[in-house]
Amino acid sequence: MTQGFGQGFPNPFSQFMIEEPKLAYYGMAGTEPGGTSPYGSSPQARRRFQSQFQNIYNEFLGQQGQALMGQKMPDQTFSQFLGQYPFTQRYSALPPAMSGMQQRTFAPQASYQYL
């Protein structure tokens, strides 16, 4: 009987996530309870998640650069960084206009039909 990756064997696919960081990032979709993306399941939340890759990756690279400038070897992969990234807290802290929740979402414009 073969054992799974988490039972003492390294994941043979982890090298793919190191070489292509977007695999790790988009793999985070569906990791929250209920199978939703870390930002939630609304269309606005999905768009926010999709648009934030470069910002989050730049933040990771900044941490790597700080470690190197401090003459330390970076000890975290992008996947590990994503595992600790506070997606929900950052999304919740955004003002409604930036999170995709515009006023019209709460109070749709009334339409009148004149006969």
Say what the pLDDT of residue 58 is: 95
Say what the pLDDT of residue 1 is: 38
User: For residue 104, what are its two tokens?
Assistant: 């019209």
Backbone phi and psi for residue 40, each to the nearest 5 degrees, phi listed first: 115, -175
Where residue 39 falls (left for φ over 0; alpha for ψ -120 to 50; beta otherwise) is alpha
Q: Residue 64 — pLDDT band, cuts 50, 70, 90?
A: very high
Q: Residue 11 — pLDDT band, cuts 50, 70, 90?
A: confident
Contact partners, residue 99, CB within 8 Å, separation at least 6: 44, 45, 48, 91
Measured at the alpha carbon of residue 109, what is the angle toward residues 106 and 111, in degrees to the nearest 5?
A: 145
Q: Residue 2 — pLDDT band, cuts 50, 70, 90?
A: very low
- Distance between CA 37 and CA 32 in Å, rounded? 6
Say what the pLDDT of residue 59 is: 94
Residue 29 has pLDDT above 80, yes or no: no
What confidence tens digit (pLDDT) does each residue in 80-112 have?
A: 898 898 877 887 787 777 666 665 555 666 677
Mean pLDDT across 45-56? 84
pTM above 0.75, yes or no: no
